[in-house]
Each structure stands twice: as structure tokens, then as C-alpha cells.
Chain A
Amino acid sequence: MTVSLYSVAHDLVALVLTAIGSVLPAPLSRWITNAGLITALGVIVFAAILLIASMLNTIVLIWFERKLLGRFMDRRGAMHVGFAGLLQNFADGLKLMRKNTFRPEEADGLGFYLGPTAYMVTSLILFGILPVSTGWNSGVLPLSLLLALVVFSFAPLFIFISAWSSNNKYSLMGGMRSAAQMIAYEVPLLLSVVAVVVVSGSFDLNTIVAQQQNYWYWGPLFLALIVFVAAMLAEMERIPFDLPEAEAELVEGWNTEYGGMLFAFFMLSDYVRALVGSFLVVLLFLGGWTMPGWVPSAATSFPLAGIVWFMVKVYIVFAVFVWIRAALPRVRTDQLLRVGWNRMIPLALLSVVLAAGVVMVKCLPVFGCLPNLGI
């Protein structure tokens, strides 16, 4: 289980290049099998695998939401393209790709195209940072949690750039709301993460998950979990916190002027961020790929079991987000900001204090011998 995805990619590239090199003349063969090239190609293959896997997951996630939302609403969701509508999102994607990408005459070209592209890229980078299982990513990133959160918080900047350069009043209002909302909820989000860091003593996600081998953090850090999920909902701009794109008053908010593939970038990035949000909840609070002790070992020891269990947890967390979406109306901007600054931040601070308490209790010897029950 110590085989990492990067080493697989690296070995694969080495194998192929060696095979090619064996039939080529000597100088070329030497050049093609040198370590630098193999590493470079290995990184590219690694990135490509990551990209494909994460995009596939995102698209399945959209399907999952559509079906689940359909069931909540007493209907079936997509049914016709592919088995149970599984290919519907691919069809939608193809349709968007075929559409004309246009720019309003008065819009600022640079910002108009830069915004969605950068938003998409920064969202995808997150998949390279977050571990899905032991050995998923190559390098040792001692501050991977911090890096993930930093990249995650780029979004308001690019949203505001694209909103402003659209030269549309609705876009501008949506962009303003988005920036205000994300900045307001960044603080409780980070503070609730601090609670996790205090207990685990590390910014490395692998270490944080390893620390949860004995007990998952959602029990002792329940308050931090609540704050984190609420703040994450605001960061993901999902109902009940989707005011920046509240279609009832702002048409489509900051992406009003976008159509075709540029709109698909936003749409896809939103789901990428939803997926990343679910990843983080699982990594920080639900034990990542570890499983409680009462699960039979046969269920946790098959190849890639870590990834499977991790994704199961991710989809359960996302189902909760969908459930919230099906059951709650949208709040208002001023209410959202008031809750953010006046309620969430004190709660997050309290959760940090509680985390300190947890650290003290953790030192009691009884916790060392507790079996992992999933709490």
C-alpha cells in the first residue's frame, strides 16, 4: 500500500521510454532515457491522471446531485441519456462546447476571459494538493492543508474580476456580494481549521488523517465541524448561501454575461469546489480514508480500499449538501453577513478553545487504548 500514484506514473513513463530507447540509435536512446525527461513526463502523466480522475468525479458528482435532488422533489432527474441518465452531463458538456463563445462589446476582454480560466485552474490545482488515500500524492507537503486553503480562497478575486469586466450591473452586484460573502466566511473557516490543527498538531493532511486513526475528529470537534460546514457552504456558494448568483433577483449573478464554454468553466468549477469542500470535511473531521475498527478487515484491506472508502464518505457528505439545498430557502445578504461576522466567528473561536480542551483530555492514557469506533 505504499505505492504512490506518482511512482506508478514515473515507472510507467520509464518503462515506455526504455522500450522506445532500446530500438533507437545510441545518442538518441541516451537522451530519451535520461532521468530528467522521465521525471518531467512522469509529472505530466501524473497530472493528466489526476485531471481525468477529478473531472470524471466532478461530472459524476453533478449527476449524483441531479438524481438526488430529483428524488427529494418527487421526480426522477435525468433519465434518458445513458443508464439512468449517467451520460446526461457529458451530453450537456458537449452542447456547451459547441456553443459560440461570445463577449459583450463593452466588456473588458482580458478580465472577461481571464476570470473564468483562472477560476477553473485554481479550482483544479486543489486536486493535486489533497490526498485521497495513502500514497496518493508524491511529494511530502508539510503545509498541504494551508496550501489548499490558500488556493481555495483565490476564488473571490477571480469572481470579482470576471464580474467587473462583464460590464453588467447584475454581474457587478453579484461580484460584490460574492467578495463580501467569501471574505466574511474565510475567517470562521480558517478558525475552525485551526481547531483541527491544534488537536492534530500538524498542517499536513496525511498526518491529520493518520492522527484520526484512533478517533475521528467530528466527535470531539463537533462545534468546529458545524462552523466549518456552514462556512464551506458559503464558500461554495450553494443554497442557502448562494446569494451571489441568486437567480430570482440577480438573473445569474456574477456569471450573467457568460455563455457556452466559459459558463461551463464556472459551472464545473463550482462543482469542483463542492467536491473539494466535501474532501476537506472528510479529511479534517471524518477520518479521511481510515475506517473504524468494527468494520470487518475484509472490507478495508482490498486494493484501493482507502480510495473507495474515502469517496464513499465524500459522497455522503455531498448528499448532505444536496439535502440542505432541497430543504432550505436562500438567506439575504445582510443576514448572511451578520451571521458570518457576529455568530460564526465567536463560535469558531469557541471551537478553538474547545480544541485546546480536547488536547488536554487526549493526554489522558485512556484515550490511547480506545478502539477506533468512528467517533
Chain B
Amino acid sequence: MSEMWINMGPQHPMTHGLWNLRVRIDGELILDVDPEMGYLHRGIEKISEDRHYNEVVTLMDRTCYVAGMAWEHLYILGAEKALHITPPERAEYIRTMSEEFQRIASHIMWYAAFVQDLGLMSPFLYGMRDRDLLLDLFQSYTGARMTYEYMRVGGVRNDLPHGFSDRARKVLDWLMERFKEYDQLCMGSDIFRRRCDGLGVLSAQDCIDFGVTGPMLRSAGVARDLRKDRPYSVYGRVDFDVARATTADVTGRYLVRMEEMRQSVRILRQVLDWLDRNPGPVMAENLPRWLGAPYAPIGREGYLLKREYPKGVGFAAIEEPHGEAAVYVVNEGGEHPYRVKFRSPVYVNLSAARKYLVGYHVADIPPIMGSVDVCVGESDR
């Protein structure tokens, strides 16, 4: 067969979302790739400029639809810095808890989709089954399973319901058992190892040069985790290890994500214990009225008044399930942010696609791209 370009996407089972991977192949060998993005671009940065600070949270759930809480957390941290607002401690703990639950849910979703791409069907269903328990937990305290709209500038919308931590602990115990099962199904399978070992290698130097972060970077042996290196919320007060592998290949990324889920469970147990012991407010006092404390009706007197509040620039970066996410919020007076700029980890990880795809086979694309954990909503914003 002579060389040819094939379009893997925008409608293709490998893409898990709307994007197009143009691949130049010779037989089964990949010669060149060119990712085409933008099929899911909704202009979230632009829409944010026309919205009140709290209304942007709604968009954050849609940014990454499998890690909504993490993106809410990110944006709220940035917005609070830009507005010089400090949330109460309990709110910070609840946010940390939400982010860690979201990390497990996102990684389980990744696991399900990744293994499905290898043709292994059962773990997909197992993953969906177990993720459902986490969604149930989210539903019990936010009312929604995917688009939570839970965090607010200055705190979180509501406190946890009665008996939440007991339910959550039961789920965590169940998950720890299931993680063993996941490992048996994958690492215990010779075919799985043959499909994944030594694939999609991206060395630590290449990762840093191309801005690749998250499990991909940690699988190359670099222990960069913003939760550890630059603790935000209450990560400085909980005890956990940074998952790391040294092989820099698909198996390494798999192992890193599996270990991260276990570490998340560890964090969650500590956070839940703290939440049990320390009741308190979850919303900051004396928030400016224009911010619209959660349910301020539109048109109320004072709601649309020009505010008197110091300007500022807020920057926040968190370790999102896919990697390092950052936000840059410019507050220039007015009810809307002047500019919101997001850094999506998936976007940057994809930009290095040529580095980790060329030279492998067409059949290697699903495992490699699966190990990148593409979430198009997040990369296109």
C-alpha cells in the first residue's frame, strides 16, 4: 500500500469526542500526525466575559464534562484571588473532597474508555458501574450528577447532607476492592501488557519541552504534582504520595492513574474525618451584593449597581485529573470578569501528539490516545 492520509475523526470511535486526528500512514505504520481541534469550541472564555462571576461556574461544568468539579474548583480559586475573597475553612475542605471524588470518577471513566479501546469489554461496564456510585454521592450533595454548579465565589452552595460521610466511606471501601479487580484484569493479562508496554514513549525531557503534564509527565518519572508542589485549598494539610512511574509508556500511565485513585481515597478518608469533626459555615460572610450570593434575583435593587471593589488579577493552578490546569482571571471592576484565560492540560498534551505517535502502528493509536485521556470539551473550551 502506498502512503495515504486517513482522518481519524471527527466521527471516529477512537476520538472519544469531537476532534480529528489526521494520520499519514504507510500500510500500518504511522508516518505523521496532525491533530485538528475546534469541533467542540464553544467560546467559554468569551462567554465568561459577559457573565457574572458566579455564573461562569455553570460553564465550568461544561468545560470538562467528566471532571466538572475540578474545573469549578480551578475557576473559583482564580476568581477569589481576583476579587480578594477568602472562603471559610470548611468550604475549602468540601472543595478538596469534591475534587478528589471527581478525580476518581474521571480516572474510572478513563479506565473504562481506555480498556474498551483495547477490545476488552467487561471492564468498561465495571468502570461505569463503579463510577455511578460516585455520581450518586455527587447527586446527594449537589443535586446533579454531571453539571453540579456547586461552588460559589466565597464558598460552596450548601453544606453536606446528613450521613454523607458514612455513605462516602462505604463507597471508598467498595472502590478499594474494585481497584484490585481492575489491576487483575489489566496487568494480569499478558495480551494487555503486550499491547501497552513500550508504547507511546514520551521522555521526561520531551514532556517538559512540550508542556505535557499530569499522569503522562509523572509516568516519565517526574514527580510534579501541584497538590504537593504548590498546595492549594487544604492539600497542604493532608497526607498523600505522588504516584510515579518510570517507563514513560502506556503501561506507566495506567499504573500512575491507578495509584492516583488509591491516593485519592487516602486523601478523602482524611478530609471526611475532618469534615465530621468540624461543622461550620460554608459561605463567606459579607460578600458584596453584586456577586449575587447564591440566589440573588435578577433586577433586585443594588444587584446591577456599579461596585466599589479593588481591581485585581487572579491566577490559580490545580492538578486536574488530566494534568495541570490553570486560570488567569482579570478583574477590572464591573460585575463581569474582564478576561478569563484557561490552560487546558489536554490541549497541551495533544499538541505533542506527533512526538508520541509517529513510528508506531495504526493499531497502537487507540491505546496511546487512550492513555493521554482526551477530553475534548476541555481542550477546545
> Which positions in A face B, CB cutoff 8 Å?
69, 72-75, 169-170, 172-173, 176, 239-240, 242-243, 246-251, 325-335
- What are 25 contact pairs spanning A and B, CB under 8 A? A69-B121, A75-B125, A170-B6, A172-B1, A176-B1, A240-B119, A240-B191, A243-B363, A248-B13, A248-B14, A248-B117, A248-B366, A249-B365, A250-B362, A251-B13, A326-B121, A326-B122, A327-B120, A327-B122, A327-B189, A328-B120, A329-B118, A329-B120, A332-B364, A333-B363
Contact of A333 among B28, B122, B365 (CB under 8 A): B28
CA distance A312 to B132 in the complex (A): 38
Contact of B14 among A69, A74, A239, A249 (CB under 8 A): A249
- Assess whether B119 is in contact with A74, with CB atoms less than 8 Å apart: no
- Assess whether A74 is in contact with B366, with CB atoms less than 8 Å apart: no
CA distance A242 to B363 in the complex (A): 12
Of the candidates B12, B118, B124, the one having the most CB atoms from chain A within 10 angstroms of its own CB is B118
4-20 of chain B: CB within 8 A of chain A:
4, 6, 8, 12-14
Indicate if B157 sits at the interface (CB-CB under 8 A).
Answer: no
Contacts of B364 in A (CB 8 A): 332
Determine how close the nearest CB of chain B comes to the CB of A341; give it in whole angstroms. Answer: 16
Contacts of B362 in A (CB 8 A): 173, 249-250
Indicate if B129 sits at the interface (CB-CB under 8 A).
Answer: yes
A-B interface pairs (CB < 8 A), number: 82
Indicate if B265 sits at the interface (CB-CB under 8 A).
Answer: no
109-163 of chain B: CB within 8 A of chain A:
115-122, 124-126, 129
Determine how close the nearest CB of chain A comes to the CB of B22; give it in whole angstroms. Answer: 12
CA distance A124 to B8 in the complex (A): 35
Interface string of B338-381 (1 = CB under 8 A from A): 00000000000000000000000111111000000000000000
- Assess whether A239 is in contact with B119, with CB atoms less than 8 Å apart: yes
CA distance A73 to B126 in the complex (A): 7
Q: Give A252's nearest chain B residue, CB to CB.
A: B13
Contact of B191 among A74, A250, A329 (CB under 8 A): A329
Having A329-B191, A331-B194, one finds 11 other A-B pairs with CB under 8 Å, namely: A73-B121, A73-B126, A74-B125, A246-B366, A248-B117, A250-B362, A329-B192, A332-B194, A332-B195, A332-B364, A334-B28
- Assess whether A169 is in contact with B4, with CB atoms less than 8 Å apart: yes
Contacts of B192 in A (CB 8 A): 329
CA distance A331 to B119 in the complex (A): 9
- Assess whether B13 is in contact with A330, with CB atoms less than 8 Å apart: no
CA distance A329 to B187 in the complex (A): 12
Determine how close the nearest CB of chain A comes to the CB of B343; give it in whole angstroms. Answer: 29
Contacts of A251 in B (CB 8 A): 12-13
CA distance A91 to B289 in the complex (A): 59
CA distance A239 to B14 in the complex (A): 18
- Assess whether B122 is in contact with A73, with CB atoms less than 8 Å apart: yes
Residues of B in contact, count (CB < 8 Å): 32
Q: Give B7's nearest chain A residue, CB to CB.
A: A169
CA distance A140 to B115 in the complex (A): 49
Closest 3 CB pairs of A and B: A330-B119, A248-B366, A73-B125
CA distance A250 to B122 in the complex (A): 21
Determine how close the nearest CB of chain B comes to the CB of A209; give it in whole angstroms. Answer: 34
Contact residues of B: prevailing secondary structure: helix
Contacts of A246 in B (CB 8 A): 119, 363, 366
Contacts of A250 in B (CB 8 A): 362
Determine how close the nearest CB of chain A comes to the CB of B174; give it in whole angstroms. Answer: 13
Contacts of A72 in B (CB 8 A): 122
Determine how close the nearest CB of chain A comes to the CB of B107; give it in whole angstroms. Answer: 19
Contact residues of A: prevailing secondary structure: helix
CA distance A204 to B125 in the complex (A): 45
- Assess whether B13 is in contact with A169, with CB atoms less than 8 Å apart: no
Contacts of A325 in B (CB 8 A): 121
- Assess whether A330 is in contact with B361, with CB atoms less than 8 Å apart: no
Contacts of A247 in B (CB 8 A): 13
CA distance A264 to B28 in the complex (A): 28
320-345 of chain B: CB within 8 A of chain A:
none
Contacts of B115 in A (CB 8 A): 329
CA distance A72 to B121 in the complex (A): 10
CA distance A335 to B116 in the complex (A): 19
CA distance A169 to B365 in the complex (A): 16
Determine how close the nearest CB of chain A comes to the CB of B193; give it in whole angstroms. Answer: 10
Contacts of B119 in A (CB 8 A): 239-240, 242, 246, 248, 328-330
CA distance A331 to B191 in the complex (A): 6
Q: Give A335's nearest chain B residue, CB to CB.
A: B194
CA distance A247 to B366 in the complex (A): 10
CA distance A73 to B117 in the complex (A): 16
Q: Give B192's nearest chain A residue, CB to CB.
A: A329
CA distance A251 to B11 in the complex (A): 9
63-101 of chain B: CB within 8 A of chain A:
none
Do A74 and B129 form a contact, CB below 8 Å, given A248-B13, A248-B118? yes
CA distance A173 to B364 in the complex (A): 14
CA distance A240 to B115 in the complex (A): 13
Determine how close the nearest CB of chain A comes to the CB of B205; give it in whole angstroms. Answer: 28
CA distance A246 to B116 in the complex (A): 11
Of the candidates A170, A243, A328, the one having the most CB atoms from chain B within 10 angstroms of its own CB is A328
- Assess whether B361 is in contact with A334, with CB atoms less than 8 Å apart: yes
CA distance A185 to B194 in the complex (A): 20
CA distance A40 to B338 in the complex (A): 86
Contacts of A173 in B (CB 8 A): 28, 362
Contacts of A170 in B (CB 8 A): 6
Determine how close the nearest CB of chain A comes to the CB of B210; give it in whole angstroms. Answer: 24
Q: Give B126's nearest chain A residue, CB to CB.
A: A74
CA distance A251 to B124 in the complex (A): 18
Contacts of B366 in A (CB 8 A): 246, 248-249
CA distance A240 to B190 in the complex (A): 12
Do A249 and B120 form a contact, CB below 8 Å, given A73-B125, A333-B28? no
Of the candidates B13, B116, B189, the one having the most CB atoms from chain A within 10 angstroms of its own CB is B13
Determine how close the nearest CB of chain A comes to the CB of B2; give it in whole angstroms. Answer: 12
Of the candidates A173, A331, A332, A333, the one having the most CB atoms from chain B within 10 angstroms of its own CB is A332
